C-alpha cells in the first residue's frame, strides 16, 4: 500500500510538472459586468486561448465599449482600425499571416442587449528565427581583453535559429546580452543599434544587434549617507567595497547584502555615483536608513523535521559596556527548547570581528532527550565568497531516558572555513559550495582525554542540456556530508558533538536525526562517524504560464552513522518533488520513500542555506 501511495504521489507531481505546457482550445470572451451601459460588446474567437487572452487584454476597440451616444460612423471607423490593431498585436506574438474576420452582429429583435463586434482569428504559422548577428562598438570590438566577454554574450544568446520569433523573446534576448555587459566592468553599456527583419512570405526573421559597452569602471571610495548612530569606519569595514578593482555588480550587491544582514540598518541601497566623471575611481553611494538600537520580533514556524515552534528574538545593536551587537533568542518547539545569546563586535580594517556566545538547549536526540550547555568565543571574517572562523568552545551535555549514556563535558579549539561560489545566493542555479571544520579538544569529565573532530560538506549544481523559453536548464544537484571524531575507545564525547543524520536536508524518507549508532538495547544515539550524499535531477517545468519559477525533481539520498567504520548500515531514500523559486528562496516540497524503514514521508522546507 505504501509503495502504491509513493507511485501515485510521483505520478501526480509529474503530471503537475507538465500542466500549462500544451495549448488549450475554444477560448471565447465572457461578457463582463460593466458599471456603465455598453454601447457594444466585443467578442474574441480563437482556438488558442493565449492569443484570445492577448487580444482581449490589448485591443484598443475595447476601450470604447462604454462611450455614450456612439455613432454608427464612429463604430465603423473603430472596426476598420481594429483589424490593423489585431494584426500588430499578433505580429508581436510572431504571427505575420493571420486570417482575421472582423464583423458586426446585430442583436435579435426585441433583445435588450447591445450589438456585438466579433473578431475571429486564425493565427497561422508562427515566424521562426533564420539567423542572428551580434556586434560590438569600438573599442570593445577589437580589444583582446574583452574576447572572453564577447564569447559569453554570443554563446548565451537566447533567441537562436529555429526558435519562434516574438517581440517578448526578442526584447528578452537583447536585454540578456546587455545585462551580461552591465554586470562586470561596463555598468553604462547600452544597445547602440538593433533590427529584426521578418519576411512575411517565408515567416523567417533575421536579427542584428550592436552593443556599445562604454568606458570600463573601477570601484572608488564609499560615500555613506544616513549614518549617525553607528561608527562609520566599522560600517565601511562591513561593506568592504573593493576599491581599485574592476566594477562588478555582484560585488556591489554583496556589499549591499552585508550591510542589510548586519542588522544595523533597516534598508541599504548601493549605487555608482551617476555624476561620476572618472570611471577609474567611481564613487559608490550608500543610501542607508539606520535601525533602532533595540528590536523584538515574535515568530511562529513549522518544519516537517521538528514540527511547530514559537520564538522571541531580541536585538540590541550597541550593548553596554563594549558597544557590541547582541542577538538573544528564546525558541520553544515540540522537540526543541533553547535559550541563546551571541555578541559580535564591529569588524576591524582587515575584516576580522570578535564574537562570543552562550546557549542552553533541551531537545530530542535520537531516542533520548538531551540537555546541553555551550559557551563559545573567537574571531570571524566574512569575505566576498569565503567565511572563516576560529574559536574555542566549551560543551556540557547530559541525556535522559532508559539506558541513557552518562553526561560529559569538553573544551574544543576549532577552525571553520566556508566557500560559496553560487551564481545566486538566494535561488542558485549553478556553482558550488565547500565547507570544512576541524578541531582539537579534551574531554573534561568524567575523565580527561584528547579527541579530534572533523566535518565537511559540499554542494554542486551542474547545469546540462539546452535552455527553455525562459533560459532555464536541467541540472544535477550533488551533495555530500561527512563527519568524524577520533578518540580512544570508551571516551565519553558530549552529546551535541556527536553525529546523527536523516530528515529534510540530509536523507529524505527518514525522520529528523533518526539515523545513528545503535546501543546495546537498540536505542539510537549519536555516532562518531557520519556520511550522507544525494543526487537530485532538477528539471524546469512550465506551470500557470510561468516557465521560469518551477521545477520538478527526482532524487536519491544515501546516508549512515556509526561508531565503527567496519560495521555500518546504509539508509537509502528515493522520491520526487516540486520547487518554486520565491523571492526569498526556493520553496521545496518532496515526497520520499525510505527503503529500509519502508515509509513514505513528506518533506517541506523554505529557503536556501549553505
Pull the grid cell for residue 235: 560600517
Distance between CA atoms of residues 359 and 357, nearest Å: 7
Residue 461: count of CB within 10 angstroms of its CB: 19
Distance between CA atoms of residues 118 and 61, nearest Å: 11
Task: Tell which residue, 520, 554, 568, 523, has the closest CA to residue 365.
Answer: 523
Say which CATH superfamily domain 128-212 falls into: membrane protein fhac (3.10.20.310)
- Give me the pLDDT at residue 20, please: 36
Question: What pLDDT, in 10s, does the model give residues 61-70?
Answer: 888 887 877 7
Asked whether the predicted pLDDT for residue 44 surpasses 60, the reply is yes
Asked if 165 and 199 count as a contact pair (C-beta separation under 8 A), the reply is no
- Give me the pLDDT at residue 10, please: 38
Task: Kindly give, in sequence order, each residue whose CB lies less than 8 Å from that of residue 603, ignoring residues fewer than 6 positions away.
Answer: 304, 305, 503, 504, 508, 575, 577, 588, 589, 590, 591, 592
- Give me the pLDDT at residue 70, please: 73
- The average pLDDT across 64-87 equals 84
Asked whether the predicted pLDDT for residue 5 surpasses 60, the reply is no
Distance between CA atoms of residues 478 and 304, nearest Å: 22
Secondary structure element (H or E) that encloses residue 167, with its range: helix 167-183
Give the torsion sign (CA, 252, 254, 257, 259). Answer: negative
- The average pLDDT across 12-23 equals 37
Q: What is the dihedral of CA 232, 426, 250, 273, to 10 degrees?
A: -50
Distance between CA atoms of residues 240 and 346, nearest Å: 13
Pull the grid cell for residue 141: 570590438
Q: Are strands 294-303 and 307-319 parallel, antiparallel or unpaired?
A: antiparallel
Pull the grid cell for residue 46: 480563437
Confidence category of residue 111, pLDDT binned at 50, 70, 90 = low
CATH no. of 219-290: 3.10.20.310
Angle at 274 between CA 269 and CA 280, to 5 degrees: 100
Task: Tell which residue, 350, 148, 132, has the closest CA to residue 238.
Answer: 350
Share of the chain above pLDDT 70, in %: 93
The residue extents of the domains of the chain are 27-122, 128-212, 219-290, 293-344, 345-606
Distance between CA atoms of residues 233 and 243, nearest Å: 15
- The average pLDDT across 19-41 equals 47
Q: How far is CA 592 from the centre of its chain?
A: 22
Q: Are strands 27-28 and 571-582 parallel, antiparallel or unpaired?
A: unpaired
533 to each of 93, 479, 605, how far by Cα in Å? Answer: 45, 5, 18
DSSP string for residues in 290-351: EPPSEEEEEEEEEETTTEEEEEEEEEEEEETTTTEEEEEEEEEESSEEEEEEEEEPPP-TTS
Pull the grid cell for residue 472: 532555464
- The average pLDDT across 343-353 equals 92
Q: How far is CA 321 from the centre of its chain?
A: 39
Do you find a cis peptide bond into 487, omega within 30 degrees of 0? no
CATH no. of 345-606: 2.40.160.50
In a 10 Å sphere around its CB, with 0-12 CB exposed, 13-18 middle and 19+ buried, how is residue 71 labelled? Answer: exposed
Angle at 366 between CA 365 and CA 370, to 5 degrees: 25
- The average pLDDT across 91-120 equals 83
Distance between CA atoms of residues 346 and 168, nearest Å: 47
Distance between CA atoms of residues 482 and 508, nearest Å: 17
Task: Give this prediction's pTM.
Answer: 0.70
Asked if 571 and 596 count as a contact pair (C-beta separation under 8 A), the reply is yes
Distance between CA atoms of residues 580 and 147, nearest Å: 36
Task: Tell which residue, 103, 125, 97, 84, has the closest CA to residue 45.
Answer: 103
Higher pLDDT, residue 240 or 2:
240
Residue 145: count of CB within 10 angstroms of its CB: 9
DSSP string for residues in 194-212: EEEEEETTTTEEEEEEEEE
Question: What pLDDT, in 10s, does the model give residues 210-231?
Answer: 999 999 999 999 999 999 888 8
Asked if 269 and 256 count as a contact pair (C-beta separation under 8 A), the reply is yes
- Give me the pLDDT at residue 435, please: 98
Confidence category of residue 522, pLDDT binned at 50, 70, 90 = confident
CATH no. of 27-122: 3.10.20.310
Distance between CA atoms of residues 390 and 344, nearest Å: 14
Distance between CA atoms of residues 505 and 325, nearest Å: 30
In a 10 Å sphere around its CB, with 0-12 CB exposed, 13-18 middle and 19+ buried, how is residue 252 labelled? Answer: buried
Confidence category of residue 37, pLDDT binned at 50, 70, 90 = low
Q: How far is CA 101 from the centre of its chain?
A: 46
Average pLDDT, the chain: 88
Asked whether the predicted pLDDT for residue 29 surpasses 50, the reply is no
Asked whether the predicted pLDDT for residue 33 surpasses 50, the reply is no
Distance between CA atoms of residues 196 and 207, nearest Å: 5
Question: What pLDDT, in 10s, does the model give residues 291-337?
Answer: 988 999 999 888 888 888 899 999 999 988 888 999 999 999 988 99
520 to each of 402, 403, 404, how far by Cα in Å? Answer: 12, 9, 11
128-212 and 345-606: identical CATH topology: no
Amino acid at each position: 500500500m505504501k509503495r502504491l501511495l509513493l507511485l501515485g504521489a510521483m505520478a501526480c507531481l509529474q503530471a503537475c510538472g507538465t500542466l500549462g505546457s500544451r495549448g488549450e482550445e475554444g477560448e471565447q470572451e465572457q461578457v463582463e459586468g460593466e458599471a456603465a451601459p455598453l454601447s457594444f460588446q466585443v467578442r474574441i474567437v480563437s482556438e488558442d486561448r493565449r492569443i484570445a487572452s492577448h487580444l482581449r487584454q490589448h485591443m484598443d476597440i475595447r476601450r470604447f465599449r462604454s462611450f455614450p451616444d456612439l455613432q454608427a460612423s464612429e463604430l465603423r471607423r473603430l472596426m476598420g482600425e481594429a483589424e490593423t490593431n489585431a494584426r500588430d498585436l499578433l505580429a508581436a506574438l510572431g504571427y505575420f499571416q493571420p486570417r482575421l474576420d472582423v464583423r458586426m452582429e446585430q442583436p435579435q429583435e426585441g433583445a435588450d442587449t447591445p450589438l456585438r463586434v466579433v473578431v475571429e482569428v486564425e493565427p497561422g504559422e508562427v515566424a521562426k528565427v533564420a539567423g542572428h548577428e551580434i556586434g560590438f562598438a569600438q573599442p570593445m570590438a577589437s580589444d583582446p581583453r574583452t574576447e572572453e566577454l564577447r564569447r559569453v554574450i554570443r554563446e548565451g544568446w537566447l533567441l537562436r535559429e529555429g526558435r519562434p520569433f516574438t517581440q517578448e523573446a526578442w526584447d528578452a534576448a537583447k536585454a540578456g546580452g546587455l545585462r551580461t555587459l552591465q554586470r562586470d566592468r561596463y555598468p553604462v553599456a547600452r544597445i547602440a543599434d538593433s533590427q529584426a527583419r521578418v519576411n512575411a512570405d517565408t515567416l523567417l526573421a533575421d536579427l542584428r544587434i550592436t552593443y556599445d559597452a562604454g568606458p570600463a569602471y573601477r570601484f572608488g571610495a564609499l560615500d555613506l549617507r544616513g549614518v549617525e548612530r553607528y561608527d562609520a569606519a566599522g560600517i565601511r569595514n562591513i561593506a568592504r567595497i573593493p576599491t581599485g578593482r574592476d566594477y562588478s555588480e555582484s560585488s556591489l550587491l554583496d556589499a549591499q547584502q552585508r550591510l542589510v544582514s548586519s542588522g544595523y540598518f533597516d534598508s541599504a541601497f548601493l549605487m555608482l555615483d551617476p555624476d561620476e566623471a572618472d570611471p577609474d575611481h567611481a564613487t559608490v553611494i550608500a543610501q542607508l536608513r539606520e535601525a533602532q538600537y533595540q528590536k523584538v520580533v515574535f515568530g511562529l514556524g513549522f518544519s516537517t523535521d521538528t514540527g511547530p515552534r514559537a520564538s522571541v528574538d531580541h536585538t540590541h545593536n550597541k550593548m553596554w559596556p563594549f558597544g557590541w551587537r547582541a542577538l538573544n533568542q528564546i525558541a520553544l518547539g515540540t522537540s526543541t527548547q533553547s535559550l541563546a545569546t551571541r555578541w559580535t563586535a564591529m569588524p576591524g580594517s582587515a575584516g576580522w570581528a570578535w564574537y562570543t556566545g552562550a546557549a542552553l538547549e533541551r531537545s530530542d536526540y535520537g531516542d533520548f532527550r538531551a540537555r546541553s550547555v555551550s559557551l563559545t568565543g573567537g574571531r570571524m571574517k566574512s569575505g566576498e565568497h569565503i567565511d572563516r572562523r576560529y574559536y574555542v568552545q566549551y560543551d556540557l551535555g547530559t541525556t535522559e531516558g532508559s539506558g541513557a549514556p552518562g553526561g560529559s563535558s569538553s573544551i574544543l579549539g576549532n577552525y571553520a572555513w566556508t566557500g560559496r561560489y553560487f551564481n545566486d545566493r538566494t535561488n542558485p542555479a549553478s556553482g558550488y559550495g565547500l565547507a570544512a571544520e576541524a578541531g582539537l579538544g579534551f574531554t573534561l569529565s568524567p575523565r580527561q582525554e584528547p579527541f579530534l573532530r572533523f566535518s565537511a560538506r559540499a554542494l554542486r549544481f551542474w547545469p546540462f542540456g539546452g535552455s527553455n523559453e525562459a533560459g532555464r536548464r536541467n541540472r544535477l544537484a550533488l551533495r555530500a556530508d561527512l563527519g568524524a571524531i577520533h578518540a580512544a575507545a570508551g571516551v565519553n564525547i558530549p552529546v551535541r558533538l556527536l553525529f546523527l543524520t536523516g530528515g529534510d536536508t540530509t536523507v529524505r524518507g527518514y525522520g529528523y536525526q533518526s539515523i545513528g549508532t545503535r546501543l546495546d538495547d537498540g536505542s539510537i544515539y549519536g555516532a562518531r562517524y557520519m556520511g550522507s550524499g544525494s543526487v537530485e535531477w532538477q528539471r524546469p517545468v512550465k506551470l500557470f504560464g510561468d516557465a521560469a519559477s518551477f521545477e520538478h525533481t527526482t532524487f536519491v539520498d544515501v546516508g549512515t552513522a556509526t561508531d565503527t567504520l567496519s560495521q555500518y548500515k546504509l539508509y537509502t531514500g528515493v522520491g520526487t518533488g516540486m520547487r518554486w523559486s520565491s523571492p526569498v528562496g526556493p520553496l521545496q516540497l518532496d515526497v520520499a520513500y525510505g527503503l529500509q524503514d519502508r515509509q513514505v514521508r513528506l518533506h517541506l522546507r523554505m529557503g536556501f542555506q549553505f
